[in-house]
Amino acid sequence: MIFGHIAQPNPCRLPGAIEKALAFLRNTDFTALEPGVVEIEGRQIYAQILDLQTKAVAENRPEVHRRYLDIQFLASGEEKIGIAIDTGNNQISESLLEQRDIIFYHDSENESFIEMIPGSYAIFFPQDVHRPACIKEKATAIRKIVVKVAVSELD
């Protein structure tokens, strides 16, 4: 996992596909876009613009992906995201790996939380369990962008 703020320069060189995704996040006015999917580089790199309501931790299931990285960017509002390394010990709640590249777990072993403010981003790799859109202080509306980067695009 990598955590940062879009206003800060990258501290090191990242793979080109991730750099392309971060450039999209830096250079796009998300207030002008409707929720939905924006292709950045076909289905290899694309963004999902989501308007959500944060929920209690227990109402959000931890998730992992295998074919795509998630770059979760908070455009407005506040949230916390549960994070953990996938130890292989988490009980699967639902597997939609073939259809949507997602596995939901009932819970997450050794979970910690990061707090997101507008401009924050977190890059989740296939070994990173994450539980997004959790209440930070109180339930609130958020706009977040999830850029999906195919693992096959990493150089």
- Residue with structure tokens 């995201």? 81
Q: Where are the domains of the chain?
A: 2-151
Q: What is the pLDDT of residues 30-56, one digit of tens each?
A: 999 999 999 999 999 999 999 999 999
Q: What is the pLDDT of residues 135-147, one digit of tens each?
A: 999 999 999 999 9
**Is CATH 2.60.120.370 what the domain over 2-151 is classified as, yes or no?**
yes
Greatest extent of the chain over all pairs of C-alpha atoms, in Å: 42
Cα separation, 65 vs 70, whole angstroms: 8
In the predicted structure, residue 11 carries a pLDDT above the cut 90: no
- Residue with structure tokens 């060189």? 13
**For residue 12, what pLDDT band results from cuts at 50, 70 and 90?**
confident
> What pTM does this model have?
0.94
